[in-house]
Structures are given as C-alpha cells and as structure tokens.
Amino acid sequence: MVISAHFRDAGPNAVKAVEELINLSVDSNIPVQISHLGSCAAVGYMKEALLIIEKAKNKGVQVDTDCYPYVAFSTSIGSAVFDDGWREKMGKSYEDIILIEEPYRGVACNSKLFHEVRKNHPDMYVVASVMNEDEVIMALKAPYMMVASDGTYNKGQGHPRGAGTFPRVLGRYVREMNEISLLDALKKMTIYPARKLGINSKGLIKETMDADIVIFDPDKIIDQASFENPAVPPLGIDYVIVNGTIAVDHNHIVASRAGRFVKKSELSR
C-alpha cells in the first residue's frame, strides 16, 4: 500500500504541509508519496522542503516525492488553491493567471475578471505561472525525486505536462541545460516509481520483465505541447512498445489497448 497525496498548502505553509505527510507515514507505517512538490514549494520554499524530506528518509521514513518539469500549474479557477490569500502565499498577482477556455482562452486575469470567472465559471481551467525554474531544477536533481506528469484535460484544454513531461525532462533538462544525466532522468521515470509502487515486472529491460519500451533519439527528443495546445505530441520518439506490442509508431497510435492490469497479487507489498 502507498498513500499518494497532494500536500495541504503552498508557499510559506508548504514546509509544514510536507511535515504533516511525513508524520502520516511515521504514524501509519505506510509509505507516502508526496505529489508534485514543485507546484507548492517552488515559490521560495523548495530548499527547506527537500531538506525535511531528506532528513526523514535518513531516519528510515518511507517518504518519497515527485515533480513535473514546468514553472506553471493548471487547475480550475474555483480550486481552493485560489482562496483568499493566494497572492501573498505565492508572491504573484492576478496577471500571472491565464484563462485557457473559451470565451476567455489566452486572456490574462485582472482582479475583476478573476473574481467574475471564479464566481460564474468555477470549473474553468487556468494556468498559474508561479513557480521558479531554479527551484524546479533543484527538485528534479534530488536523488529521491521521481518525474511525474499528473495531467488532466477539460474540454480539450489543460496542462501540457499531460503530453510533454517526460520528453521535456530529456530534452530541456538533460540535453539542453545539462542539469540531470540521462541515466538519472530515466531512473526517475522508470525503475524508481515502479519500485515505489511495488511493481516488480516493470522498470528495467531484461528477461522476465514486461516488454514496455520507449525508443527515442536523445539528440532530438523534446516536448511540443504548450498551454495553448496542450496535447501536441513530442518530437524524437520513434516507437512506444507496450507489453511487447507496438502501441505508438512515430506519433501515431496503432494499438491503444496493448497494456494490461497489474494485479494486486503481483505487487511486492
């Protein structure tokens, strides 16, 4: 069993919220996965958050975390993250919020528009450009950090991390910026999360393992999805093989049901 949770608060309260989840793991003796650390702590508090997680892990606490490689998050404008005081917590303004659905697609908020849409269209998705890239990089480089997308779409709109997370790490942060080694990045995407979930049939390429393989060109791979067009496929991926079947051939889905359920009996915990 693993408890995977978005921690309670962001900004100045991010560190306290991380501590809360660590204590949950200690009290329950259940491994905890802290979801997308960047969107809550990469606003000036990442160093403190990582230090607390590192200290807990050194004491044997079963806590891990993940991060996606973007400096903006996306959620509905009616989300609790935008309750009173959000600008002070994040050190940002209304103009940092971009509406991404019609009739306001691509429009930056001001105070009037923000409150109007939040009241009348609470389910409308927005993009909040609030994170600091140096702190996102700091998170991605942490040895216990996993890469995760955590992306959803609403009426065809959403966060580009749904289509671009893994190619972006490999293209921007491995190849272009040289912040992470290729091997470390791949571990954070494959073997590390597989072991966290107790799925022993995935994460490595060898006999007896599931034949789930991505064939890509490390010199070309890069994300193309944007906040305006969040589902655009990446460049540089030739094939995606799922359970031994070619599922994607040069960005064309050719077998959408090649995967299989992983039974509880197959898990190591």
pLDDT digits (tens, 9 = 90+) for 106-134: 899 999 999 999 999 999 988 899 899 99
Single pTM value for the model: 0.90
What is the residue-wise DSSP string for 60-117?
T--EEEEE-S-S-EEEETTSGGGSTTHHHHHT--GGGEEE-STTSTTEEP-HHHHHHH
Q: What's the pLDDT score for residue 269?
A: 58
The helix (H) or strand (E) run that includes residue 29 is none
| Whole-number percent of the chain with pLDDT over 70 | 99
Residues of the chain under the 50 pLDDT cut: none
Encode burial over 13-50: b for 16+ CB neighbours within 10 A, e otherwise: ebbebbeebbeebbeeeebbbbbbbbbbbbbbbbeebb
Please give the domain boundaries of the chain with CATH numbers for all domains.
1-70+136-148 (no CATH), 72-130 (no CATH), 168-269 (2.30.40)
> In this structure, how many other beta carbons lie within 10 angstroms of the beta carbon of residue 65?
25
Which residues are 153's β-sheet partners? Answer: 158
Q: What's the pLDDT score for residue 222?
A: 98
